Amino acid sequence: MELLQKIADKQARIGVIGLGYVGLPLAVEFARAGFTVVGYDVDASKTATLNGGVSYIPDVPTEHVAGIVKAGTFRATTDASELATVDVIDICVPTPLRKTKDPDMSYVVQAVEVTAKVLKKGQLVILESTTYPGTTDELVQPALEAGGLVAGTDFYLAFSPERVDPGNPQFQTKNIPKVVGGMNEASTRAAAALYGSVIDTIVPVTSTRVAEMVKLLENTFRAVNIGLVNELALMCARMGINVWEVIDAAKTKPFGFMPFYPGPGLGGHCIPIDPFYLSWKAKQSGFEARFIELAGQVNSSMPEYVVTRVADALNSVRKSVNGAYIHVLGVAYKRDIDDMRESPALDVIELLKRKGARVSYSDPYVPHLHHGPVDMAAISIDEALAAGADCAVIVTDHAAFDYPAIAARFPLVVDTRNALKGLRSPNVFPL
């Protein structure tokens, strides 16, 4: 296979469609390994930033981007025709949910249309976007074959789920095992060879559908277990039991238990979304995923419960949510990153505003928050206190926050992340 030899010699040219949290780290790994990489994105500000040698993703150091730009192994573009020169096209675009909780495949469709226009014999096309089982062979393959080339014979086609965990200092693109499933053995072999040149461990599976299902299982596992522990947290609150102490004691068991933690709701691109992809596809097959959907309902209700805890805190000092000044601490979906995708803080803020509260926020990673009707700039904790904040709500437990000082200085604190580590104080209200 000519492509395998090109990969082995680092002569294969690689195109990456989508330069976000998945595509950019992958493109940088390929370029740093010596491959020539063309990164395509419709956002001209992103391509200009990258071509200037600057990274906009915290997990990708600017010096890495500057190095590959200077070496000439990476270039970003908004011109899709430049993908005509590549041997591999890796599609890394978002796959959000519609408001109806069914998959929005528009970004994948657009990326596949771009790919179809430049598709040539001997090329390898890989989809990395998280999606439902059957996407590669039901949607991608027919669109690519419409021009006359046959997948598996004229070109290679595979699916390899992204496993990015933003902000994780231990596991990043290079050392996260890569699952690869091709539409035939030759496609799997080609994709495995490509990723094996830059990633430590490759896990081949027998089909694209298996690879697609792997990612959904991983994140549905997390969503269901988080749903379980969120429900346990609600139960413990009713029974006057500290759920965090329960979890800490349970996790001392050296087998048969894995700790998950309650919180204000699910965030990020994958965990709040992937289970709905799976349940949607299951319905197409006449199967009702009741367990998965129930967990989704529990998790999606948590922002409302957070607002209820704010109301409880205010009631303890004979105040109402309506007219109160609430300061939210942390609006990114997880600690120490700037990613706002599906952050529960967005729902918490919107719900508080609907109930008549005045809301501000602090977040060292998100200086400005714009989401739907919410358009706010971050302020400091000192500014919030000076303006008379009635209650602080810890939604994201960034390491930069001084939690003892927060507990001491705010009249009331609602702690959704156990950031105060069980501090027993009349002004602190745990989840």
Give pLDDT tens digits for 192-209.
999 999 999 999 999 999
Query: pLDDT tens across 249-260, in order?
Result: 999 999 999 999
**Higher pLDDT among residues 96 and 348, named by residue:** 348
Query: pLDDT tens across 20-64, in order?
Result: 989 999 999 999 999 999 999 999 999 999 999 999 998 899 999
Structural contact between residues 199 and 10, judged by C-beta atoms closer than 8 angstroms: no
Residues 6+ apart with CB under 8 A from 294: 227
In this predicted structure, the answer to whether residue 243 has a pLDDT above a threshold of 70 is yes
What pLDDT is recorded for position 422? Answer: 67
Burial of 404 (0-12, 13-18, 19+ CB in 10 A): exposed
Query: pLDDT tens across 124-137, in order?
Result: 999 999 898 999 99
Number of C-beta neighbours around residue 319 at 10 A: 17
SS3 380: coil
Q: Tell me the CATH number of domain 301-430, given options 1.10.760.10, 1.10.287.130, 2.40.30.10, 3.40.50.720.
A: 3.40.50.720
Distance between terminal CA atoms of the chain? 58
Averaged pLDDT for residues 271-294: 84
What pLDDT is recorded for position 313? Answer: 97
Active-site choice (92, 236, 270, 391): 270
- The mean pLDDT of the chain is 93
Same topology, domains 2-206 and 301-430? Answer is: yes
Residue in this structure with the two tokens 């699916």, named with its chain if needed: 159
Domain residue spans in the chain? 2-206, 301-430
**Taking Cα atoms as reference points, which of 208, 197, 227 lies closest to residue 158?**
208
Q: What does each C-alpha distance from 38 to 15, 28, 29, 263, 361 come to in angstroms?
A: 5, 10, 13, 40, 39
Half-sphere exposure of 23 (CA within 13 A, CB side): 28
pLDDT above 70 coverage of the chain, percent: 100
What pLDDT is recorded for position 400? Answer: 96
Averaged pLDDT for residues 151-159: 96
Structure tokens at 107: 């970004």
SS3 251: coil
Number of C-beta neighbours around residue 366 at 10 A: 22
DSSP H or E run through 49: helix 44-51
CA gyration radius for the chain?
Answer: 24
What pLDDT is recorded for position 196? Answer: 96
Residues 6+ apart with CB under 8 A from 385: 409, 410
What whole-number distance in Å separates Cα of residue 144 and Cα of residue 116?
Answer: 5
Could you tell me the maximum CA-CA distance found in the chain, to the nearest angstrom?
A: 75
Which of 112-116, 293-297, 302-306, 385-389 is predicted least confidently?
293-297
In this predicted structure, the answer to whether residue 11 has a pLDDT above a threshold of 80 is yes
What pLDDT is recorded for position 276? Answer: 79
What whole-number distance in Å separates Cα of residue 419 and Cα of residue 403?
Answer: 7
What whole-number distance in Å separates Cα of residue 388 and Cα of residue 158?
Answer: 57
What pLDDT is recorded for position 282? Answer: 85
DSSP H or E run through 9: none
What pLDDT is recorded for position 120? Answer: 95
Confidence of residue 97 (pLDDT cuts 50, 70, 90): confident
270 is catalytic: yes
Confidence of residue 274 (pLDDT cuts 50, 70, 90): confident
Structure tokens at 338: 């700037």
**Taking Cα atoms as reference points, which of 367, 366, 425 lies closest to residue 392?**
425
Residues 6+ apart with CB under 8 A from 292: 220, 223, 224, 275, 278, 279
Note the CATH number of domain 2-206.
3.40.50.720
